[in-house]
Chain A
Amino acid sequence: MSDVAFYDFVRGPFLKFALFVFFVGIAYRFFRVIFLGMPPDYAKPKGSPPFMALKKIIIKPTMGWTFNEIFSRRAINFIGGFLFHLGFLGLTFFVPAHALLWKEITGIPFPTLPNIVSDVLAYAALGSLIALTIHRALNPVLKLLTGKDEYFANLLIALIIFTGLLATRWAGGGSYIWLVSLHLFLANLLIIYIPFSRLSHFVYYFLSVGFMGWNAGKRGVSF
């Protein structure tokens, strides 16, 4: 198979299939949980559930950033997590090639980053991902919470960022097409994998955190 034929396959039928599976999967998991329903609760809420839900969604990502006990003990999680998410999301949406793809899907034009900024984001994301994975493997508490799912997801994302960097920065000439095709192929696997793994938190994070906030509001407690 020639590299261009493989390239055409991964950016054509395979990408379409992956995106379709992604949307099916996200909707399927959402409604499967929602329609199970909740037991009726006749107690009058002590606080304001919607307000607390919103507060939790907005405040939670910043909660660890005060130099208190939490931060001093979990600095790797906070700094690494912040850098990784900033880098990964920045790359996903604002690298010129990606931005044009999102414009095609959503119809909204996305701004584009210059190469130097994408590079900084990519190295930051890749470095923090490696640090977080090592931290996961060694930390006694995180070890208990970690399964194959996390390691697989981390490896897949690391490979995607790495092949993207290889293709745009270090590949010479003809090998570019193989590398960019490999990058696309792995990204397609990730798109298929997201809805059925813990990576789906990128959609469900807001729901679960909102739900926790809602409950806190119902009981009139702070978080």
Chain B
Amino acid sequence: MESLYHIYKRRGYTRRDFLTSAIAISTALGLPSSLLPKVVKALEVKPKPVVIWLEFQDCAGCTESFIRSTSILPTDVLLDYLSLEYHETLMSPSGFYAEESKREAMEKYRGKYVLVVEGSVSPKDKGVYCTVAGKSNVDLLREAVEGAGLIVAVGSCASWGGIPHAYPNPTGALSVSEVLKGKQVVNIPGCPPIGDVMVSVIANYVITGKAPELDSMGRPKTFYGQTIHDRCYRRPFYNAGRFANSLDDEGAKKGYCLYKLGCKGPITRNACATIRWNGGLSFPIQSGHPCFGCSEPDFWDRGMLYTPLSVVSGRFGIREALVGVAVGTAVGVGVAYMNKKSRGGK
């Protein structure tokens, strides 16, 4: 099978383009420059990765983001480089033939293929809420996991349960790692996650043969080791106490911090502020919108999209304070009266 270098050559790119991509991959993964020769060697000789991509309760947004990963590999190279053996949205066959090709790939590349899961898993009511080819999603997942070399959960739905898991969660949606307890799952959360991050994690598997270093919640430390707030270009305004008070006031035009407008950057771990989107063009905060915190668990249930982070969630205002004072007054007066009586006062 071809390696990345062969594909570059076949598509008319120069060796310099190939080396640029190799450098971009090792930079994205945070590998030291001394390892660059090894990275180049691996991408020259190692066969392209086989990917089986399952979609459960999803919207295909992660796929859309994935095929627009342009900082590291040009899209035409990416789709050629990944041997996508099964992907319901991208492949041309359907029905019986599609399922057959998946079965064949799972047998042929047993123990070697990368299993990417998009969307949450729903075991409730025997998995009836998400079935493909007459099989429930849980059965499909267990079947595909057996021979996988690496399991990657892309998007917030696969990583935490995401929007299908949001209250009242009618389908009993769960994350991939909750269903596959005890197995190593690489979580790449985000709604959607950054395409370059997904590509880098798969490339890392080709280069090193294992998953990247993960944090306690199964996310690659390289991309999810810092908060958006830590890396935000508007951070100096936060430090200076300069905030935009609405989405289009003078402060917003000057690029002031969006904390007051409900930015969740301080509690959101993702690489948006460094890698950015669409080939490094921009990210939500750069376009003047507060961060939603879409890569953190239960972001949808937290709500408060336009409420500052430090405000009590669930409201506590003058009315609630007065209720507290009234209760305290009643108890205080009662106790004082009883004390007075017991001491023979009037």
What chain A residues lie within 8 Å of B55 (beta carbons)?
A: none
Which of B81-89, B200-208, B247-255, B336-344 lines the interface with chain A?
B336-344
In the complex, A126 has a CB within 8 A of chain B: no
Is the C-beta of B217 less than 8 angstroms from some C-beta in chain A? yes
Q: How far is the CA of A100 from the CA of B344 in the complex (A)?
A: 49
Q: Are B230 and A19 in contact (CB under 8 A)?
A: no
Contact B298 A101 (CB under 8 A): no
Measured between beta carbons, the chain A residues less than 8 angstroms from B90 are none
Bound state CA distance, A5 and B226, in angstroms?
18
Are B311 and A101 neighbours in the complex by a CB distance under 8 Å?
yes
- The answer, among B238, B240, B336, B345, for a CB contact under 8 Å with A31, is B336
In the complex, chain B residues whose CB is within 8 Å of the CB of A7:
267
Q: Kindly supply a per-residue 1/0 record for chain B positions 238-263, scoring 1 wherever the CB is within 8 Å of any chain A CB and 0 otherwise.
A: 11110100000000000000011000
Q: How far is the CB of B64 from chain A (nearest CB, A)?
A: 26
Task: Pick from B4-12, B282-290, B327-335 the stretch touching chain A.
Answer: B327-335
Bound-state Cα–Cα, A21 to B327, Å: 10
Please tell me if the beta carbons of A37 and B227 are within 8 angstroms of each other in the complex: no
CA distance A17 to B200 in the complex (A): 45
Report chain A residues within 8 Å CB of B127. none
Identify A113's interface contact among B226, B241, B267, B317, CB under 8 A. B241
Binds B, one of A51-59, A134-142, A150-158, A174-182: A174-182
Given contacts A15-B312, A36-B340, A100-B308, contact A30 B332 (CB under 8 A): yes
In the complex, are the beta carbons of A11 and B313 less than 8 A apart?
yes
Could you say which residues of chain A place their CB within 8 Å of the CB of B180? none
The 9 closest A-B pairs by CB, nearest first: A27-B328, A23-B324, A31-B332, A35-B336, A173-B226, A97-B310, A28-B328, A24-B328, A28-B332
Q: How far is the CA of A50 from the CA of B35 in the complex (A)?
A: 80
Say whether A22 contacts B269, CB under 8 Å: no
Whether B241 lies near A13 (C-beta < 8 A) is: no
Q: Is B297 an interface residue, CB under 8 A from the partner?
A: yes
Complex Cα distance A12/B312, Å? 6
A73 CB to nearest chain B CB (Å): 39
B321 within 8 A of A: yes
Q: Which among A74-82, A84-92, A102-110 touches the partner chain?
A: A102-110
Contact A104 B311 (CB under 8 A): yes
Contact of A96 with B259 at beta-carbon distance under 8 Å, contacts A101-B312, A105-B317 already known: yes
Residues of B within 8 A of A (CB): 215, 217, 224-227, 229-230, 238-241, 243, 259-260, 266-267, 269, 296-298, 302, 308-318, 320-321, 323-329, 331-333, 335-337, 339-340, 345
- Known interface pairs A27-B329, A36-B336; A4-B215 also in contact (CB < 8 Å): no
CA distance A113 to B326 in the complex (A): 34
A–B pairs, 17, beta carbons within 8 Å:
A4-B298, A7-B267, A16-B314, A19-B320, A23-B325, A24-B327, A24-B331, A27-B325, A27-B326, A28-B331, A31-B329, A32-B336, A35-B333, A114-B241, A173-B226, A176-B229, A180-B267
Interface membership of A61, Cβ < 8 A: no
Majority DSSP secondary structure for residues of A touching B: helix
* Chain A residue nearest to B331 in the complex (CB): A28
Task: Give which listed residue, A5, A15, A22, contacts B324 with CB less than 8 A.
Answer: A22
Task: Output the nearest chain B residue to A96 by Cβ-Cβ distance.
Answer: B241
Are A173 and B311 within 8 A (Cβ)? no
Decide if A97 touches B309 in the complex (CB within 8 Å). yes
**Cβ-defined contact, B329 with A28, below 8 A:** yes
The answer to whether A180 touches B266, judged by C-beta atoms less than 8 angstroms apart, is yes
CA distance A222 to B107 in the complex (A): 97
Convert A96-129 into 0s and 1s, putting 1 for each residue whose CB lies closer than 8 angstroms to a CB of B.
1110110011110000111110000000000000
Interface bits A19-47 vs B (CB < 8 Å: 1, else 0): 11111111111111111110000000000
Residue of A nearest to B315 (CB): A104
Interchain CB contact (< 8 A) of B312 among A5, A32, A104? A104
Assess whether A149 is interfacial by the CB under 8 Å rule: no
Contact flag A115-B332 (CB < 8 Å), given A105-B317, A173-B227, A174-B215: no
18 further interface pairs, Cβ-Cβ under 8 Å (given A35-B333, A97-B259): A2-B297, A5-B297, A11-B313, A27-B327, A28-B328, A28-B332, A29-B328, A35-B336, A35-B340, A36-B339, A96-B259, A98-B310, A112-B243, A115-B240, A116-B239, A172-B226, A173-B230, A177-B267
From A14, which residue of chain B is reached at the shortest CB distance?
A: B312
A34 is contacted by which of B318, B320, B336, B345 (Cβ under 8 Å)? Answer: B336
